[in-house]
Chains A and B, each alone.
Chain A
Amino acid sequence: MADILEFFEMVYDLFVLPFEMLESATVALDSFEFSTTLLYQYLGYMHFAMGDALYIAFSSVALVMIGASLWSFILKGIDFLKSVLPFQ
C-alpha cells in the first residue's frame, strides 16, 4: 500500500514539481537586476582603471562584437529553420 502511495506521490510530483520550478524561476527572473551583478561592478572597475576614452572605445567594440555575434546567430537560426522545413 505504501509503495502504491509513493508511486502516486511520484506521479503527482512529476506533474507539480516542474510548475513549481517554473514559478520559482519566474520569481528569480523577475527579481534579477543587472545593475547589482558582479559584471556591472567589474565594468565599473575597468572604467575607472582604463579611463573614459579607452573604456568607451573598448566597450563600443565589444558592443559591435556582441551585435555581430547575435546577427550571425540569427542567420544560423534562420538557416536551421530552412533546413528543417520540408518545403523550400
Chain B
Amino acid sequence: MIAPLVLAALLAQAPADPCAPVKAAATRDPEGARAYLAVADEERAAGREEPAVMAYRAALQREPGLERARAALAQVCAARRAAAAAGRVEAAFTRGLERLRAGDCPGALPGLEEARTAGDTSAALLVGLCRFRQGEDEQAGQAFREAAAAPDTRAAAELYLGLLALRGGRPGEAAPLFRSATADPSLAPVARELARQARREGRVVVSLLAEGGWDSNVDLDPADGDGDGLAALTGLLSVSPWLERGPYLRGAASVQAQARRDEYDLIALGAAAGLPIGPPRRRLLLEYGYDDRRVGGEPYLSAHRVLADGRAALDDRWSGGAAYSLRGERYHGAAAADDSGLQHAAQLDVTAILDGYRLTVAGQAAWHGARTSSRAYRELGPLLALATPVTARLRGVVEVACTWRAYQARDDALEARRGDTYADAAGRLELDLTERWTTYVSVAARRAFSSVPDLRYARVVPGAGLSFTAGVP
C-alpha cells in the first residue's frame, strides 16, 4: 500500500500553476500514463478543463515522452492564458464603461485605454468619446479612426469623426462622414440630420426666409385691437473664416409688410462682428452689433450693441450661461425720441440636455435708462424654454416668460407712474424638407397688464415660413 501514499505525495506537490512545466516521476509508468491520458481526453471532451489539465499532467509525470499529452496540455494551457488575458481586457473595459456611465471620463480612460491597447475597437470608440468630451480632439480622432476600422463600430466612429470635423471647422469633411454613418440603422436619424447641419454650415452661410402671418393686434389696442396680415422676407449672411473658432461677421436684412396697416411696415437692417473665446465647453462670446429699423418708411431706431455671452459645461448634461448686453438706443421721431438711452440687459440660465431635450431655466433683468425718466424702467422675470433634440428632422421649441416692469417716474401724460407685467408664450415647429429647405409654423402670444388701463392688451401672432440655408465650406 505504498503506491497510494507516493501517488498522493506526488499530487500534493502539484504546483499552484497547473500549466507550469511538468516534473517527471522517479519511475516511468507508461500503462498508468495511458489511463490518465484517456481520462484527460474524456474530461477535455466533456468541457471539464481543470480535471483535464490535471490528468494530462499526471500522464506526463508517468511518461514524459507522451507527446500527445504534452501537445494537448499545451493547447489547453494556451487557451486558458488567452481566456485569462481576454478576461483581464474584459474587466478593464467593464471598469472603464462603469466610470463612463457615471460621467467620470478621466476615471474611465485607464481601463478603456487598456482594452483599446488589446485591440478592442469598442474601447477605442469609448476612448474617443471621452477625449471628445474633454476637448482633446486630436487624440479623439486617433481613437475614432481605430474604431472606424472595425465593422461593428465603424458607423458610430464616423459619426463622431464627423462631429470632430465640424468642431474643427471642416464641414466639407463632416458631411460625407455623417452620410456614411447612416449605414447603421440606429444612428441613421441622427447622422442624416447632422449631415444636413453640415450642409448648412461653412465659412460663408447664406439664409433666406420667407414668412407670412397674422398679427391680431398691430397697434396694441386694449380693446382687442386691429388684426392684420403680414408678410416678410429676410436675408442673412454669415462669414466666419475660422468657423466656431475665430471671429465672424454677420449681416441681416428684413422687410416686413402689413396687409392693410402699412404705417407699421418694417425694414430692419443689422450687422454684427463677434469673437468666440475658449473651447466649446467653456466659451465666451464677445460681439458688437448695429441695428437699424424703419417703421412705416420712416427712421425709427438705430442702436449700437455690445454683448458678452459666456457658457460653461457643468457636466455632460448641465451647463450654465451668463450674458450681458449694453445697447445704446436712439429712437427717431417725436413720439419715440424720449425712449432713447442706454439699455443694460442680463440673463443667467441653467440648461440641461436630457435625452436630447434641452431645458432652460433663466432669469432675466434689464434696466432701460431712457433720457426721459418717466420712460426709463427696470424689469425682471423668469423664462422657461424646452426644445426637442436639435438633430431631429422635426423639431419644436416652446418658451414661456413673465416680466415685471417698473417705470422710474410718473408719466405726466398718462397721469400715473406706469407698472407693467407681461406674460409671454411662444412655440415653433420646424420640419426639414431637404438638407437646405426647412418649413415652420409658429405662434407667439403676449398678454400685457398695466397700471394704466389703456396700455393693457393681448396679442397673438401665428405665422408660417419657408427657409433656405446653404453653407460654403
**A complexed with B:** no
Give chain B's interface residues, CB within 8 Å of chain A: none
Q: Using CB atoms and an 8 Å cutoff, list the residues of chain A in contact with chain B.
A: none
